[in-house]
Structures are given as structure tokens and as C-alpha cells.
Structure 1
Amino acid sequence: MSSSIEVLVGRIGKPHGIRGDVTVDVRTDEPERRFAPGGRLRVTAPRDVTTSRTSIGIESARWHQGVLLVRFEDVSSRDEAEALRGLLLHATIEPGETPDDPEEFYDHQLVGLAVHDLEGQVIGEVTQVLHGAAQDLLGVRTPDGRDTLVPFVAALVPTVDLAAGHLVVADRPGLVAPYPEESDGGEPEAGA
């Protein structure tokens, strides 16, 4: 078993100014903790980006009009900052570490949880967490092998119980359970 876990905390955006600052698309609920000056993050590159860096040190971080601006060590010009665009930033955490807010969760804590409906019946398992612009989505695989996405919002996921190993989804027709006409193989009635 690994002694530490990596979590995605951000993606480097466009340069800001001429001294090497960059915008960061924050992917963590703890940006002050993850982007603290003196910290170091592991760097990975998506398919369309190349880099020789494997990690990068944080020199400074500040908020400007709702956007996190970060200056990294050894990056002092707009051109050097532009070369970082698109890189993904990862922090290393201990396996038992949890976010400070009890209503927040790391992706690895959610993947593998059993999914129950409001009556306590198992309706699936969390297979992935997708981070969208508007909200996060839980990928759920049902016992019959279907994959579906559930918005990770309190109205649809009222309970997350890590200790018990499950979460509750307030299922709606077609959200996790199929529509009635899908389960019997029939077509919906026209004009009804």
C-alpha cells in the first residue's frame, strides 16, 4: 500500500503581467493550504502540453478579482509563465488526511463507496468523480452494469458516510434507476 496519495489541486492558466505570475484554475477547496509559499507541487502534463518539469515550488500566491495568481520559483518572465500553461498541479497527502471542512471530501475517499437510495437499498457504487465548471459529478455504476452521472449536490446526495462506506442518493426517475419503460424493454407511450 502506498504511504501517500496525490490529489489534483489545480491547472495552470494564462500568464498575468510580465513578471511570471500565472492564473490557476483551482481544483481544491483548500487553496490557501495547497498554494502556500514555500510549498512544492508535482507537475503533470496533459497530452497536448509538454514539459521537462516534474515538480515546481511556490514563491507567492494571492487572489485578484476572484482569480488565484501564483508565482512559481525560477519563473520570472511572461514567456516562462506561458510555457507552463495547461500543466496540472498535484499535492501529496497522507492516506488518513481529510479536508478541514467536514462537508468536503477528496476524490479517493468517494470512489468505491456504495450508493444507497433513501430507503437504504444499494443502487450502485461510485466509480469516479468528475469536476465540472458548474458542479462536481459522481460516476455511479449500477448492479446491472450501467454507468450514470449524479450531480454531487446536497439535494441529490444528502448523506456521505465515509465510516459506513456509503453515500445516499435521492434517486429521481432516470438518474440512477432506469425509467420504468427502460426496465421492461418497452417504448414510452406516444400521446399519453
Structure 2
Amino acid sequence: ADGGAADALALDVADRSAVVEAIDAVAERLGRIDAVVNNAMWIRYGALEEMDEATVDRMLAVGLKAVVWMAQASLPHLRRTSGCIVNVSSPAAVRATAGAAIYSAVKGAVSSLTWQMSNELGAQGVRVNAVVPGAVPTEGARALVDDAGYELRRAHTPLGRLGTPEDLAGAVSFLVSEDAAFVNGHLLAVDGGLLVS
């Protein structure tokens, strides 16, 4: 509506060479990269003792290793624009969640990596922050959480409602904007108060 355009690019973010190729292609086509948002995750819930190696490996590959590959691939471009990276963590990083041991570990690592990256890359002029979303019933998330699960999440959210994609988009837009030019190493909770409940 504002005259912008969006292109979809399909790739496996767990594949380092595919990430490098995709980022370089985008930078060549657009002439620059100003911001990278690491929002990919592959989730399977279940008891810790039942998690098989393939499931754990895929969750780590998509949820954590991909953040590293995206940072490595985009850094040469982001340095030129004083750009920024926004990672996506989760309240599960600091709150016990039934059946989510591996997911929680991945998101805890993303939070820790965000702080480390903000220090290391901030010295290179690249800001790194993260958003920590509460429950947002997107199509993909609804494949894993039923109505009862979302009702439980809503009941534990002080604002009394679930989040929307627009709630998250607003937070990410802030973190990549000039209004956040001095914000680095921050985990911005966009959770309706869940973390303080």
C-alpha cells in the first residue's frame, strides 16, 4: 500500500552454503542489505527422553546454527550500511514449558548468542537485538498448539489476549529503525506481560 515490494526466496536456512548464496544474491540484486531478521524455527514438542537424534539435530540446525550462518553471510553487507540483526527468542528460554526442553534450550542459546553478537558486532557498527514473542497463533503455530493450548496461554498473559503478527512486526520495525540507533544487545519482550506474570 505504501509502494513497497516484497520477494519470497525459498531456502533451507540450516544449509550454510545456501544461506551464503542467497544473501549474496539478494545484496547483488538490491545493492545493499540493511537488516536481517532470524525468524526460522523447526519445532517438535515431546518428553526429553523421547527426543531422537534427528529431531534434536534439526531443531538445533534451523533454530540456532542458521542464526550463525545468516550472521556470517550478511556481515560483509551489514558493515557497509551500519545495518542490524534481529533474532527471535522465546519466553521458553527462561520459563519451563511442558514438552519443550529442546526448544527452550535452542531459544536460550539464541538469547545468549544475541548478547554475544551485540558485543562482538557492535564494535563493527552492526547492532544486534532480539524480540521475545508471546503466544501468536499463526498458521504454522496452530499446527502444533490446539485451541485449548492457546486458551491456556491467553489466560497466563496479563493483557488478556494473544499476540498478532502485527504486534511482532511493529517491534521488529522499531528495532531496525533509526529510532533504535542506540539500542544494542536488548531482548524486547512482545508478550503481553507473560514474562512478568
User: TM-score range, shorter-chain basis?
Assistant: under 0.3
| TM-score normalized with structure 1 length | 0.25
Q: Between the two structures, name the one with larger relative contact order (CA 8 Å, sep ≥ 6).
A: 2
Larger Rg: 1
| TM-score normalized with structure 2 length | 0.24
Q: Which has the higher strand share?
A: 1
